Amino acid sequence: MKTDQVNPTAIAPFVRCALGCINREYPHVHFYGLSEETDLVPHRQLNPAFYGCLDWHSAVHNHWLLVRVMRCFPRVEFREEAREKVSENLTPEAIAQEADYLKDRPEFECPYGLAWLLQLTAELRGWNDSQGKQWGEILQPLEEVAVNNLRQWLLDLAFPNRSGTHIQTAFAMGLIWDWSKTTDNQDLAGLLKERAKMFYHGDRNYPLDIEPLGCDFLSPTLAEADLMRRFLDAENFANWLGEFLPNIPETPEIDWLSPVIPSNPTDYQQSHFDGLNLSRAWMLEGIIAGLPPDDRRINSLQAVAAVHRRVGLKPVSLCDYAGSHWLGSFAVYLLTQRGLR
C-alpha cells in the first residue's frame, strides 16, 4: 500500500492522541538510579524534550508519528498544530540536555527508545522540508550519543533478548538497521549484520504457537524473521524461513495465528496486545516482502496479516491513556509501511 492510498481520516484519531500527549507530563513512569536524595528530581528537568507520553520512548515515537504524518500527508488539517508542538520540544537547549543525560546513562532506554530516536532522525533526513532539516540538525548531538550507546550495547551483547517487550533484541536491530541504511553508516550496519547472523541464523523450528508471552506488544518470532529478511536475499530468506517456521501453511484458510484482544482496555499491560496485533501485521508484511513472489506461503501470510491489520487498527485500548499514549505510533508505522519504505 502506498501512502497516497491511505485516507487521512484513518490516521486522524492516532494523530489526535499524539498531539494530546507529547506535552502531557503526568501520569509518568521513569526508570533511573538514585545515589542520594538530591538525585530525585522531576523528570521534566532531566528530559526537557521527551518528558510527555508516560515515558521517554513513547514521547520519542510520538514525535516520530507527527513527523511521519507531516511528511506523508503534506496537506492534513493538523499539520500546523503538529509543527508547533514538535517545535516546542525540539530546541537546541533541550536536546543538549537530553544528550548530556544519555552520555551519563548509556543503559537508559537502550535499545528500544534509542532505536526509535534513530527512526525519528531518519524520518527527518528523508523529508524535504526546511523546518524538518532544522529539527534534524538540532537532534544531531543526541543522535550521535544514541548511536554510540547502541554500538556499545551490540558489542557487549552475548545473547539476544527473546522477549516480546522493550528489551527485545530483534525489533530494535531492525529499526537501527533501517537507520543505518538511510545514513549509510557502514560500521553500524556491519556490526548489526554480524550480530544477526550470530544470534539468529541457526534458529530452527521456532515455537510460534506459545505466543504471546505474558504482555507482549512484539512477537519475538515474527520480529526475528522480519529482521532476517533485511539481511538475506529472497532465496536464502525463503530457505531460512522454511527451517525457522516450518509449519507456515500454504492454505490461507487455515487459522494458524489469531489476534489477541485485551479484556481490560484500561490495563496498561493488556493494552500491549493491541500493539501486538499491529506489529504482527507489519512484520508479516515485511516477511512477505522478503520472499520470492512465487513463494507458496505468501497467500497464507497475507491472510493472517490482513486479519491482524483489521483488528489492530481498531484498538480497544485507545479509549484510555493506557493505550492512547503509544498505540498511534504503531498504527501509523503500519499504515504508512515504514518498515518497507
Structural contact between residues 191 and 304, judged by C-beta atoms closer than 8 angstroms: no
CATH value at residue 35: 1.50.10
- Domain enclosing residue 65, as ranges: 3-340
Structural contact between residues 116 and 60, judged by C-beta atoms closer than 8 angstroms: yes
**How many domains does the chain fold into?**
1
Cell of 340: 518497507
Please report the DSSP string for 276-301 in residue order: HHHHHHHHHHHHHHHS-TT-TTHHHH
Please report the DSSP string for 200-213 in residue order: HTT--S--GGG---
Per-residue pLDDT of the chain (341 residues; tens, 9 = 90+): 455 568 888 899 999 999 999 999 999 998 888 888 888 999 999 999 999 999 999 999 999 999 999 999 998 889 999 999 999 999 999 999 999 999 999 999 999 999 999 999 999 999 999 999 999 999 999 999 999 999 999 999 999 999 999 999 999 999 999 999 999 999 999 999 999 999 999 999 999 999 999 999 999 999 999 999 999 999 999 999 999 999 999 999 888 999 999 999 999 999 999 999 999 999 999 999 999 999 999 999 999 999 999 999 999 999 999 999 999 999 999 999 999 98
Structural contact between residues 76 and 340, judged by C-beta atoms closer than 8 angstroms: no
- Taking CA atoms, 76 is separated from 89, 181, 205, in Å, by 21, 29, 46
User: φ and ψ at 279, to 5 degrees?
Assistant: -70, -35
Enumerate the H helices of the chain as residue ranges: 8-21, 43-46, 56-72, 79-89, 92-104, 112-125, 130-156, 169-183, 186-200, 220-231, 234-244, 272-290, 298-312, 321-324, 327-335
